[in-house]
Homo-oligomer: A and B are copies of this chain.
Amino acid sequence: MRITGLDTFDVRFPTSREQHGSDAMNVDPDYSAAYVILRTDAGVDGHGLTFTVGRGNELCVAAVGALRDLVVGRSLDGIRQDFAGFWRSLVGDTQLRWVGPEKGVVHLAVGAVVNAVWDLWAREAGLPVWRLLCGLSADELVAAIDFRHLTDALTPDEARALLTVRAAGAAERERDALAHGVRAYTTSAGWLGYGDERVRNAAQHGLRQGFRHFKMKVGRDRRDDVRRAALLRDVIGPDCALMTDANQVWDVPVAIDWMRELAPFRPWWIEEPTSPDDVLGHRAIRAAIAPIGVATGEQCHNRVMFKQFLQADAIDFVQIDACRVGGVNENLAILLLAAKFDKPVCPHAGGVGLCEYVQHLALFDAVRVGGARTDRVVEFVDHLHEHFVEPCIIVDGAYRAPERAGFSIEMRTDSLRDHCFPDGAVWRR
């Protein structure tokens, strides 16, 4: 099977009109995707996307286009024979690399393309991506990872050894994953600007759906955060987990001060308390506010940054994103790093398509890498799933394991058409 074409789409949902998803940093997101379809000579397409929040999506679309010549003409077999080499050819293009490197627009584009290749492989294999990954040998998984700039923390041999050790019990964990999925948490009760009644209703709704973990946005107004934290803790009771998320708005001293004020409500974690680039800042915050945990990752731009967050013991929860880094291959490295440093991986989701994507990574992590652990929870936001051919399914507060072949990221044809920016029906109105 050979890749014969690469089509791109600038897809945007006008979510800012309804103020869903607003937080202290991202006040008016239009959930968007730089969407890519890889065409092949076998009649099978591979789908991928990278998530953005509106303006700038056109830059990611253009960056996907800039990768076209590195992808079109490649055979799926050729890619699989040296997947790490293919991956490096995308991030290491001798000219394009300069405008990253391995970060921002060009790296988001790599995420979309690489994930589309995995979608293609999974469709050819007739398996959902998570089961495809679970079926690969330790050698095959290691061969998909570019270890450049990682070997001071994780070598290929260490990765192989870890995967071999964790193979014990994998079959049982896979049965468990099929039966129960992976535990999710909800962000839907905690958006900024929700009044008492809306918070209470949303939290009670979450409890009825089987959620035991509730996340709230913080960082815009201290008194309002205290109000909503008290309310949420009251509704969910003492045994559920309450998480907080500041979306990077604080400086280090402010983060420490603010979280001490929220401490009485026993937050399980504070997410993105400061700049996503600030490893040492997160370490300082973590040391000051324990036992509140520190989480970050949705804007952690590559494996080298995750490596340092782990080496410095700066975080408690590793929040991988499906497309911020260079797709599945780089996330394999990050899952292995997290396992080596014994930290749970709690993927970021929401937006558009992220829930569909990360369920696969979390299931694979549970079966093959991180293994069974009670502190792995995957974000869930109940929004925009209807636009996907195989929307994720939540049962009893857990993601049910996807069954269809692929990465669950194919958008419905009508949704894709109507939301193209700026000429789709939704935007012409």
Interface residues of A (CB under 8 A from B): 25-30, 52-60, 62-63, 66, 93-108, 147-152, 248, 251-253, 274-281, 284, 299, 301-302, 304-305, 307-308, 311-312
Q: Please report the C-alpha to C-alpha distance between residue A59 and residue B95 in the assembled complex, in whole angstroms.
A: 12
Q: Known contacts A62-B58, A95-B30; decide if A311 and B149 are in contact (CB<8 Å).
A: no
Contact between A278 and B25 (Cβ–Cβ < 8 Å)?
A: no
Contact between B251 and A98 (Cβ–Cβ < 8 Å)?
A: no
A60 neighbours in B (Cβ, 8 Å): 99
Q: How far is the CB of A192 from chain B (nearest CB, A)?
A: 13
* 26 contacts across the A-B interface (CB closer than 8 A): A25-B97, A26-B95, A28-B94, A28-B95, A29-B98, A30-B95, A53-B94, A55-B96, A56-B99, A57-B99, A59-B99, A100-B104, A101-B248, A102-B275, A103-B103, A103-B301, A104-B105, A105-B106, A147-B251, A149-B252, A149-B275, A151-B251, A152-B252, A152-B281, A280-B311, A281-B308
Q: How far is the CB of A51 from chain B (nearest CB, A)?
A: 8
A147 neighbours in B (Cβ, 8 Å): 251
Q: Known contacts A59-B106, A105-B106; decide if A53 and B98 are in contact (CB<8 Å).
A: yes
9 smallest A-B Cβ distances: which pairs? A104-B104, A54-B95, A152-B252, A55-B95, A56-B99, A105-B105, A149-B275, A56-B96, A277-B304
> Out of B58, B98, B251, B280, which one reaches A150, CB within 8 Å?
B251
Q: How many copies does the complex hold?
A: 2
Q: How far is the CB of A28 from chain B (nearest CB, A)?
A: 5
Given A29-B98, A105-B106, A277-B301, 14 other A-B residues pairs in contact with their CB atoms under 8 A: A52-B95, A53-B94, A54-B98, A56-B95, A59-B62, A59-B105, A99-B108, A104-B104, A104-B105, A104-B106, A105-B105, A147-B251, A148-B251, A275-B304
A280 neighbours in B (Cβ, 8 Å): 279, 308, 311-312
Query: Main SS of chain A's interface residues?
Result: loop
> Out of B93, B148, B299, which one reaches A55, CB within 8 Å?
B93
Q: How far is the CB of A260 from chain B (nearest CB, A)?
A: 16
Contact between A66 and B62 (Cβ–Cβ < 8 Å)?
A: no
A93 neighbours in B (Cβ, 8 Å): 55
Q: Please report the C-alpha to C-alpha distance between residue A57 and residue B95 in the assembled complex, in whole angstroms.
A: 9
